[in-house]
Amino acid sequence: MKEIFAKFVSQKISKTRWRPVPSGSLQTAEIFATGSWDNEENYVSLWSIGEFGNVDSDEGFEGDHQLLCDFRHPGDVMDLQFLDQERIVAASSTGCVTIFLHHQNNQTLSLSHQWKTAHYHTGPSSASYSSAPCTGVVCNNPEIVTVGEDGRINLFRADHKEAVRTIDNADSSTLHAVTFLRTPEILTVNSIGQLKIWDFRQPGNEPSQILSLTGDRVPLHCVDRHPNQQHVVATGGQDGMLSIWDVRLGTMPVSLLKAHEAEMWEAHFHPSNPDHLFTCSEDGSLWHWDSSTDVPEKSSLFHQGGRNSTFLSHSINNQAAAQQPLLSSWLSTDPAKDRIEITSLLPNRTLSVNSLDVSGSCLVCGTDAEAIYVTRQLFS
Amino acid sequence: MEELDGEPTVTWIPGVNSKKKQMCFDWGPGEMLVCETSFNKKEKSEADPSCPFIYILRKDVDVYSQILRKLFNESHGIFVGLQRIEEELTSKSRKAQLVRVSKNYRSVIRACMEEMHQAAIAAKEPASGHQFSSQVSILSAMELIWNLCEILFIEVAPAGPLLLHLLDWVRLHVCEVDSLSADVLGSENPSKHKSFWNLVTILVLQGRLDEARQMLSKEADANPASAGMCRVLGDLMRTMPILSPGNTQTRTELELKWQHWHEECGRHLQEGTFASSPRLDTLCKILLGDEEVLLEQKELLSNWYHFLVTRLLYSHPTVKPTELHFYAQSSLDLFLGGESSPEPLDNILMAAFEFDIHQVIKECSIALSNWWFVAHLTDLLDHCQLLQSHSLYFGSNMREFLLLEYASGLFAHHSLWQLGVDYFDHCPELGRVSLELHIERIPLHTEQKALKVLRICEQRQMTEQVRGICKILAMKAVRNNRLGSALSWSIRAKDAAFATLVSDRFLMDYCERGCFSDLDLIDNLGPAMMLSDRLTFLGKYREFHRLYGEQRFVAGASLLLSLMTSQIAPRSFWMILLTDALPLLEQKQVIFSAEQTYALMRCLEDLTAGRPACGEPNGQEPQDDDIEATKVEMLRLALARNLARAIIKEGSLEGS
């Protein structure tokens, strides 16, 4: 990786997300959203890295990302997800969940819908309500799932005023993050080191499966699912450990990898190149994990085929062709750990790196040092 | 008490007439609360205060500027990097590194200045535009002072190179000439431009002789009559001996050559080479360092330090650092000419030329509205080992004092507090206690923020604060009826007393509802169960329920008994435990052995023996007593029957 651009933005960044690229298009990511936290006034902002055009390496100025628009957000932005090309869902520390609409013709943001009390504490008496921070949100248009410190899981639909499904007391501790496993199943991680799988088809407030780290109950802060293999899941914990799970097998992680020195706030598989994984942490580091096999040409060829060719080979030769190379490096239990190559992406350590996102060859991350870092050449 | 260095500034509280009304105040860490009061007033008639507000006074307003926030954040990174520079580096590479750090700081100031300038232009209201412009001039002054300190204290340039650095310094800060030059050269006929001669003069004053010569050649082209004179003057400019960085000649050689060149300039002037052109004549006099002619250029020089450097360039090019203050003082006096008195900036620069670092820092502290500048500059100079001997009569040394002030200002800010932590870390004497006091006062709205604060405390082994924060969170969770969360927090804080309290709440809930909540946590307590007896009991009691549910009666029974005999179970809970034993006693097969049954009986008798003494004063209702009595009777019966069965079974087993 050659160039990484930093921009100080006068607000601590809690979340950064690329706007999804329309499927099937050859475009690269150009616009990303950020959310701020711990300010008196917090904002959801949209930034553009477009107009690179000429490569003038002498001056870093061309690489700067420019603010397109922003909108006041109630409370800290705890999580941020794009619902589609123009709608962004934000989770707030005040327990409300908001959908913002991006008008691309005049570059403005507006409030499209808001669930004000999505998360709340009931308190000792039934009369005392107080808001509870919403800690995580995941979208699969039109479905939106949110989790919070109140241990509640909400299922919303973008076009419904009320929650479609609410699981009260889903967790006795704080839920930190949520992701879709296979629709309609979701996976949550909590502050006592457990992964829980929930099936919305089942009534009641019991998870369909609980997986947990042994003994120490180290809180888990983030979770991401392998984009192609829905049973492979990565989580990051308070001790900075990266755990890889196969949710089909047992209740223990397949591998535990020593990583950061403090809380791992986010872990993301590369969406189209899932042998690569990215993690960031409270200790101010941002890491790139490369588990692709020793022959780089081979794997990159395979990936250049894209989704279509995988799909084809899958239908022709179900087992051998498609599954073999995909039986990903993340699950092999032999001393494969040496094969994972780790690179640190930030030049010098700063305050906490709270969030990151990858799309194609672009990566964006935001820090408590009020800087947003962007690179467009992840694999060069 | 030392003498005051200046009059303290007065802040007026809007709406309060301080002549008629009283004010009261209270200190906060970085702020002050002020309001009107009628304390101790004789006449109570005018009860209604004229100002119903409580004001928050902030002393460090610059912290709240959006643009300066970038300065604080970016310089934080540089500061942390500077603290990591190891002592073991050789002095030479160490110096190079310190100069680089200093330049980094300056480039951050410049970037900030640039942005502030843009903001001033873009500002819609004149008031905010004015505010931005005044910030620009403050930043520009900061950079000017920093740059001079860098040359004099960090670079420590010897005679010769010193002047080159000073020239760069002046060129960097008197930069209107570049836009003027572009303007003139862009015009159709440069030599006829109204500012043409001003430009040439400024170029000469700044020692940019190559550019000045190019300008002269334009004049020569346009005006053949003066071409000869221009050529001669151009030659003089070309041949002026200067020290270039790669040059190996000694200072004496240079001085000799320079003397020779100086005499030649003088000869041309005496011979009247430029007599027909007053402008060229003036330029030649400038080259000779004629003070009167230089002073005539006041407008173009714009300030005394420019005058100083030009004067040195053309009369004392190999000035020694120790001689600087003498020339500086006389330049200031000459330039101001008794018409005006020096301003704070002049005093600061003068103190720097006198190599009086402490005076520089003191004057800056008084003149500037924030601690950022003095804190970072002092820290950098301290790393150059320039401030060892100076300790204050309060607190610690000056570096630490200023860093503490700055960091406290950051902590008063709702968002910048995270930066303050690293500054406290590098204050060896009072940093830690300051951090301890500040960190406890961070408001915690979300667990995520609490985790960040906890991480800061845990990394520094601040156990007291960790306990405090966890307790706050546990308390909050209890209030919100989130017992599982509360228990997790008290386990993290290793707070046995609170864990007991939460466990009691769980047991109470159990008694009310007959089932446990938050099983995902209680079933996975692991070794954390040992934190408090009550928590152990909670975990074990739940384990009994699980064993019972799994029909592992024998294991369950012995666990149940051990809970009582080992005194882990609170007395108040024994009746419930004994009642739990009832169905086990009634099972078809014998579960409690004879010995265990005796133990159970002992427990029951212990319990009932203690009862009447404490039962009556509580005024329990007779109904409850009846139920209790029946329960005891049933238990006694079941125990007796079980004992009988157990004795028979054990006897027959032994017999066979």
pLDDT one-digit tens code per residue, B518-530:
888 888 788 888 8
Q: Report yes or no: A226 and A181 within 8 Å, Cβ to Cβ.
A: no
Contact residues, chain B, for A8 at CB < 8 Å: 69-70, 73-74
CB atoms B449 and A262 under 8 Å: no
Residue A63, pLDDT above cutoff 70: no
Q: In angstroms, what separates the C-alpha of A194 from chain B's closest C-alpha?
A: 9
* CB of B481 less than 8 A from some CB of A: yes
What backbone phi and psi angles, to 5 degrees, belong to B242?
-130, 155
Going by pLDDT thresholds of 50, 70 and 90, the confidence category of residue B512 is confident
| Whole-number percent of chain B with pLDDT over 70 | 91
Top-confidence residue, A63 or B92? B92
Q: How far apart are CA B595 and CA B375, in angstroms?
A: 76
Contact residues, chain A, for B493 at CB < 8 Å: none
Cross-chain CB nearest to B481 (options A40, A124, A351): A124
CA B395 to each of CA B370, B388, B392, B432: distance values in angstroms, whole numbers, following the listed order: 20, 15, 7, 13
Q: Over the stretch B638-652, which tens digit does the pLDDT of each residue have?
A: 888 888 888 888 888
Q: Over the stretch B470-510, which tens digit does the pLDDT of each residue have?
A: 999 999 998 888 888 999 899 888 889 999 999 998 888 88
Going by pLDDT thresholds of 50, 70 and 90, the confidence category of residue A297 is very low
CB atoms A194 and B524 under 8 Å: yes
CA A232 to each of CA A268, A355, A356, B598: distance values in angstroms, whole numbers, following the listed order: 12, 21, 20, 55
Q: Over the stretch A142-151, which tens digit does the pLDDT of each residue have?
A: 899 999 999 9
**Token pair belonging to A142:** 């039109």
3-class secondary structure, B472: helix
* CB of B488 less than 8 A from some CB of A: yes
**Token pair belonging to A129:** 């309500």
Q: Over the stretch B31-63, which tens digit does the pLDDT of each residue have?
A: 788 888 776 666 555 555 567 788 888 776 777
The residue to which tokens 């997800």 are assigned? A81
Q: Over the stretch B201-227, which tens digit does the pLDDT of each residue have?
A: 999 999 888 889 888 888 888 888 888
Nearest CA in chain B to A6: B74
Question: What is the full DSSP assignment across A104-123?
Answer: TTTTEEEEEEEETTSSEE--
Top-confidence residue, B107 or B66? B107
Q: Over the stretch B111-145, which tens digit does the pLDDT of each residue have?
A: 999 999 999 999 888 888 888 898 899 999 999 99
Q: Report yes or no: A197 and A251 within 8 Å, Cβ to Cβ.
A: no
Picking from A5, A189, A191, A211 by the largest number of B CB atoms within 10 A of its own CB, the best residue to mutate is: A191
3-class secondary structure, B303: coil
Residue B148, pLDDT above cutoff 70: yes
Instruction: Report DSSP state, residue B309.
Output: H
Give the pLDDT of residue B1: 45
* CB of B568 less than 8 A from some CB of A: no
Angle between helices B463-479 and B496-513 (to 10 degrees): 20
Going by pLDDT thresholds of 50, 70 and 90, the confidence category of residue A212 is confident
User: In this predicted structure, which of A350-354, B2-6, B8-12, B544-548 has the lowest mean pLDDT?
Assistant: B2-6
CA B535 to each of CA A183, B481, B544, B608: distance values in angstroms, whole numbers, following the listed order: 39, 18, 14, 26
Q: Over the stretch B153-176, which tens digit does the pLDDT of each residue have?
A: 998 888 888 999 999 999 998 878
Going by pLDDT thresholds of 50, 70 and 90, the confidence category of residue A304 is very low
Give the pLDDT of residue B89: 67
Cross-chain CB nearest to A352 (options B452, B518, B520): B452
Question: What is the full DSSP assignment across B318-348?
Answer: T--GGGHHHHHHHHHHHHHTTTSPPPHHHHH
Q: Report yes or no: A109 and A164 within 8 Å, Cβ to Cβ.
A: no
User: Which residue blocks in chain A are alpha helix, DSSP H?
Assistant: 296-304, 306-316, 324-326
Question: What is the full DSSP assignment across A8-70?
Answer: E-SS-EEEEEEPPPPTT--PPP-EEEEEE-SSSSEEEEEEE-----S--TT-GGGG--EEEEE
Residue A314, pLDDT above cutoff 60: no
Q: Over the stretch A69-78, which tens digit does the pLDDT of each residue have?
A: 999 999 999 9
Residue at B537: amino acid letter? F
Of B648, B642, B502, B646, nearest to B578 by C-alpha is B642
Give the pLDDT of residue B421: 94
Q: Report yes or no: A257 and A337 within 8 Å, Cβ to Cβ.
A: yes
Average pLDDT, chain B: 85
CB atoms A217 and B526 under 8 Å: yes
* CB of B440 less than 8 A from some CB of A: no
Q: How far apart are CA B538 and CA B506, in angstroms?
A: 8
Q: Over the stretch B380-403, which tens digit does the pLDDT of each residue have?
A: 998 888 876 555 555 578 889 899
Going by pLDDT thresholds of 50, 70 and 90, the confidence category of residue B194 is confident
The residue to which tokens 């643009």 are assigned? B67
Q: What's the whole-number mean pLDDT along residues B300-316?
A: 91
Residue B103, pLDDT above cutoff 90: yes
User: In this predicted structure, which of B209-223, B389-403, B551-565, B604-618 has the lowest mean pLDDT?
Assistant: B604-618
The residue to which tokens 């097998």 are assigned? A249
Give the pLDDT of residue B180: 87
Q: What's the whole-number mean pLDDT along residues B414-419?
A: 92
Going by pLDDT thresholds of 50, 70 and 90, the confidence category of residue A59 is very low
Q: In angstroms, what separates the C-alpha of B466 from chain A's closest C-alpha?
A: 15
Q: What's the whole-number mean pLDDT along residues A124-138?
A: 81
Q: Which residues contact B152 (CB under 8 A, 6 or more apart)?
A: B321, B324, B352, B353, B355
Q: What's the whole-number mean pLDDT along residues B333-340?
A: 85
Q: What's the whole-number mean pLDDT along residues B453-463?
A: 93
Give the pLDDT of residue B460: 93
Q: How far apart are CA B336 and CA B243, in angstroms?
A: 31
Residues 504-543, chain B, touching A (beta carbon < 8 A): 517-521, 524, 526-528
Going by pLDDT thresholds of 50, 70 and 90, the confidence category of residue B3 is low
Task: Tell me, rounded to whole angstroms, the distance of Cα A103 from its chain centroid.
Answer: 24
Whether residue A142 has a cis bond before it, omega within 30° of 0 = yes
3-class secondary structure, B498: helix
Give the pLDDT of residue A329: 72
Whether residue B190 has a cis bond before it, omega within 30° of 0 = no
User: In this predicted structure, which of A92-106, B66-80, B193-207, B624-638 has the lowest mean pLDDT?
Assistant: B624-638
Q: What's the whole-number mean pLDDT along residues B293-311?
A: 90
CB atoms B485 and A212 under 8 Å: no
Q: Over the stretch B237-267, which tens digit does the pLDDT of each residue have?
A: 888 888 776 667 777 888 888 899 999 889 9
Q: In angstroms, what separates the C-alpha of B528 from chain A's closest C-alpha?
A: 8
Q: How far apart are CA A210 and CA A207, in angstroms?
A: 7
Going by pLDDT thresholds of 50, 70 and 90, the confidence category of residue B572 is confident
Cross-chain CB nearest to A10 (options B70, B449, B485): B70
* CB of B480 less than 8 A from some CB of A: yes
Residue B367, pLDDT above cutoff 70: yes
Ordered strands of the A286-290 beta sheet:
A264-269, A276-281, A286-290, A341-344
